[in-house]
Amino acid sequence: MREIQVGLGARAYPLIIREGALASVGSDLKERAIAKRYVVVADEHVNGLYGESLLANLGQAGLGAELLTFPRGEASKNLATVGELASRLARLGIDRKDGLIALGGGVTGDLTGFLAAVYMRGIPFIQVPTTLLAQVDSSVGGKTGVDIPEGKNLVGAFYQPRAVYIDPQVLLSLPAGEMLNGLAEVIKYGVIYDRPFFDLLAARREDILRRDLGVLEEVIARCCEIKAAVVAADEREADLRRILNFGHTLGHAVEAASGYGLAHGLAVAIGMVAAAELAVGMGLLARTEAEHLREVVTAYGLPSTIPAGLEPPFIKGFLKTDKKTVGGRPFFVLPTKLGAVTITDQVGEGLIDQVIARLKGK
Ligand code: GLY
C-alpha cells in the first residue's frame, strides 16, 4: 500500500495505490467523511465489471449509494451527456453534501469530474480509475472536461478530486491494447523526469508486460509521484506542467489526423520518438539517447513510425490547430537527455518536415 499526497494546500488529496484498493473504497471513504451519499458514474461496460461490487461495498460501509451509467466510448464525452447526468442527479435529490465517484477510464473520469465541477457549482468527487492510462495520468491532477464538435477537451475545468483509489489488480482484465495505451504515458514519465525509472522500465519490461502486480504497483506509484509533484508545483499548466505534454505535440496531430482511430498512447509513442528526433536535429540530445528511447518504445510493442495513409501536410494541418500552438508556433517538449526536457517554440518548420518525412519511412 502506498499513499501519495497531491500537495495543493487546502485542496490536497491522497492517491491510494494498493492491490485490492477497489474492495475497500467504502470503508476508506467512510473514514474520510467526505460525503454521506455517493453516486457512482460508470459506462455500461465498466459497470458490468465492477459497478455492483462497488455499490455493495459503499452500502456495507453505511454510505448511501446510487448508480448512473452512460454508453461506453469517447462519443459520450460531451455536453449532452453532462446535461443528461445532471438531470438524473437532480431527480435523485443529490446536493452539495453528496459526492460522485468516477469508476472507469479517462472518458469517465473527465466527464464525471466536469459534472462534479458544474453541478450545483461544485460537489466533491472521487476517482477510481480502471485503466492504466487513467491510473497514471488522467485521474490525477484535476483536468476535467468534455469534447465539442470543434475539438477534444475544449470545454472543461481544473477541478481536483478529493481522493483517488488505484487498484493494480483491475489491470489484469484490461485488453492488451489498453495496457499499451497506458504504457506510452508511463515511459513518458521516465523520459521527462527520472532516468533510473526509465532504466527500470527497460529492465523490467517482461514483468510489466506479463502484468506482475508487484512491479506494476511500483511503476504506477512512481508515475503518480512524478505527476503529483508536477501538479503541486503548477496546477494550471502555466509552466512546469507543460512537460507532461512530452510526445503530445506531434502525437496529437497524428492522433487527430487518424480521425482518432489511432489510440492516444500509440500516438504519444510516435510523438515521443518524433520529439527525440527534433531534439537531435537541434543539437539538444545525443543520437544514442534518441536511439535508446526508440528501442524501448518498440520493445514494448509501441509504434515509432507514422501509419501509412497519413500524409505529412494533413498531419501538419492539425499541428496548427492544436491547443499547444500559440500565435502560429507550436511548442514542443524536447528531451535534453533521458530524464530531462526543455520546452521550446523555436523548432524550425524545415526540421519538423524532415522528421515527419523520416518517421514516415521515406
Ligand atoms: N495529461 C497532462 C496533464 O494532466 O497535464
Fold of 2-173: Rossmann fold (3.40.50)
269: nearest Cα among 133, 108, 111, 75: 133
Q: Are 250 and 341 in contact (CB under 8 A)?
A: no
Respond yes or no: is residue 185 known to be catalytic: yes
| Region(s) of the chain under CATH 3.40.50.1970 | 2-173
141 lines ligand 1 (CB under 6 A): yes
Ligand 1 pocket test: which of 131, 139, 143, 268 has the largest number of ligand atoms within 8 Å of its C-beta? 143
Q: Can you give the pLDDT at residue 329? A: 82
**Active-site position among 72, 241, 294, 324:** 241
Q: Is 241 a catalytic residue?
A: yes
Pairing of strands 340-344, 332-337: antiparallel
Residues in the chain: 362
Closest-lying ligand 1 atom to the alpha carbon of residue 185:
1
Which of 18, 222, 248, 294 is flagged as catalytic?
248
Which part of the chain has CATH 1.20.1090.10?
176-359
Taking residues 37-42, report their average pLDDT.
Answer: 98
- Please report the atom of ligand 1 found closest to the CA of residue 230: 5
pLDDT tens per residue across span 169-214? 999 999 999 999 999 999 999 999 999 999 999 999 999 999 999 9
Task: Tell which CATH architecture fits domain 176-359.
Answer: Up-down Bundle (1.20)
CB 63 within 8 A of CB 123: no
Give residue 13's Cα distance to chain centre: 18
pTM reported for the whole predicted model: 0.96
Active site residue 162: no
The enclosing H or E element of 66 equals strand 64-70
Q: Give the model confidence (pLDDT) of 287-315 as tens digits.
A: 999 999 999 999 999 999 999 999 999 99
Distance, in Å, from the CA atom of 54 to the CA atom of 60, rounded to the nearest integer, reads: 10
Fill in the amino acid letter for 214.
G
The average confidence (pLDDT) of the chain is 96
